[in-house]
Structure 1
Amino acid sequence: MNNFEYCVPTRVIFGRDTQKRAGELIKEYGFRKVMIHYGGGSVKRSGLLDQVTASLREAGIETVLFGGVQANPTLSKALEGMEICRREGVDFILAVGGGSVIDSAKCIADGAPNPEIDPWKFFMKEAVPPKALPHGNILTLSASGSETSQSCVITNEENGLKRGFNCPAHRPLFAVCNPELTFTVSRFQTGCGTVDILMHTLERYLGGTTKDTALTDRIAEGLMKAVIEAGTAADLNPEDYEARATLMWAGSLSHNDLTGLGREVMMTVHQLEHELSGKYPEVAHGAGLSALFCSWARYVCRDDPMRFAQLAVRVWDVEMNFENPLKTALDGIQRIEDYFKSLNMPVRLSELAADVKEADFDEMAEKCTNFGRRVLPGIRELGKREMMEIYRMAL
């Protein structure tokens, strides 16, 4: 087990009707003017936005509404939000939505108090925000784990780059998590979320070469088995509270570092997917991951067949073939692919909503290497050639 530091200070308020406590929570911290940041019309149609604004109004807190966040949140939208925060004197940002809205709020929080710095420099690792606005969230989609994580991913439309930036200021002050708010999430988005939650732990489990992480392995395996069961249950009955609750809590645990403690963390498939949805913004993140993962896994599993075999046996109930552990590993990968299919998720790039073209793979791989400045480490190092081979396998 490697050395590690673990700090997840986000306060989680979990359960039925918890969104009604928004005003009470923000008042506790002493904030006076809040930007409520949200996505499309669903929070309006459901009445959630009205509930939240009423709660803040009753607590004597001023509000500024800023909506319009799309999947794969953009820098341009965040720049608008930064300007509004400065102009209106906002001292707290409340994200009401899923990972895209929360990430957009984090980007706004980074940039609003630092007008002298181009916020894209944060995502290019060229600068760190000297200060940031505090923020919290009311979660409406179980997927990214951004509600408690230090991660933030933004797309720059000008250059087509989709980049992540991690920093402690990205940890929300609080996350309000009511599983009932996910009952109306579509089958497709539920599938995308289930894939994303699984992938955050799968990539931690498979991404590095660290040995002797028995406790972390068991935590990861238990979470994955619970997500597999809950994902199927929510797919069959969208209003299954316990399934939705499991997915919501697992989403937070899967991406707040818990399931990778003491291991190298190499989110390789996420990096490949960022270039995919950066090039094709209409591709949902979870769908891109399901379309890429099994091709990546088949490409690299020969470099550590025992690790993949362990996953197959402990999580996917494959019988161990001691004479041929690679067969066990490949059988496990097939079980994962079959599970994605059972959720009606794509397992090939050709099954995505976008018309993905092989001619774009060179550009995608070039960007993924930061224009030749890096290889992706892991069980097997991936340079540009290897990345292109995986993209082709997945087509």
Structure 2
Amino acid sequence: MEQATMTAPARRPHGPGMPWAQALATARDLAGPLPAERTTPDAAIGRILAAPLRAAVPVPAFDTAAMDGYAVAGPGPWRVAGRLLAGSDAPPKPLDSGVATEIGTGAVVPVGTIAILPYEHCTRVDDQVTGEIRSPHVRRAGEDLTPGDLLVDAGRPVTATTAAAAVQAGVEELLTHRPPTVALFVTGDEVITSGQPGPGQVRDSFTGLITAVTARAGGRLLGRTRLPDHPSALEMALTGADADVIAVSGSSSAGAADHLQRVLGSLDATWHVRGVACRPGHPQGLAELPGGRWVVSLPGNPYAGLVAALTLLEPLLSALAGRSPESPPVVPVTGETPLYSMGVRLVPVSGTRIVPGARAGSLHTAAAADFLAVLPATWQSGDPAPLLKIP
């Protein structure tokens, strides 16, 4: 690849950056849900309802037997005539008083039936059945739902149970917000995507993390592209990316191989977060390209990149997916760690105790933890702190 001949611009000095809580709130509150689209109930699982989900048919759709036994008409004893099972195409004949028909759970109840007499509550001898009626054991048409009844309100996620209830209520299409798509660009001449690293090389450790964070936030990762440390390659990739959100790992700081800030400037991007007052993860950022695509800048150090993914990427994707804003839980955290006087330090915790030894370039302590705790400069062991769930 040809060498760049342009003079490198003066690097923007590192300032303290935006307060961490403000950066999280910016990513969470800046974007609105993506447009709604219609999909089948099963395909909607994991998405967010854009409109209330209402029943399309009565549930049950007909009078149906709630027990296995005999449908009986009038006072007993009853003469047994015939058998009805669920799924029969022909409507059952009405029952005359003193007549019973053997019936299975879910079968259509004949007109004239006063109750279903369960097997365990009756005695049959030849074609005569006797027993005590203790309950009707008949589910009447529409007793659970009538057309138009509300199942689930807008803004709630479609779970597997939601989808099953929609199918039961005759709903063939749901209106849900489109899940945001993500393109991941992994920058760095030193990054390899397979095999054991040689001298000066490192393996890509971002793809799995970003895949998990994206899925948890309700998005969909379209793929990963490895990019060399060259501004033209980065600019071409950003211009051609067909995704709602572009996550860029590396190229985020102010070094000689860090081109993202300059390239975004040439593309007339608007910065909403440009550096965060935290350690690790200070050079993370959130920008918006003309036309509405989002760019999340993730520091190239893996642990710092994880911090940025949980601070900016996940809240942004959740908002685009239509999920209700959530604040991290705040619980007491114990242990010891150096603090950051100009902002917050994010440390791994197992349960609520700090896992010592975290460094910006290593993930081993995070792998042994459950959360990242966000510790202000004034924190002392036992003080409450926000927790971010580790993917």
Q: Which has the larger radius of gyration?
A: 2
TM-score by length of 1: 0.26
TM-score (normalised: structure 2): 0.26
Q: Greater helix percent: which structure? A: 1
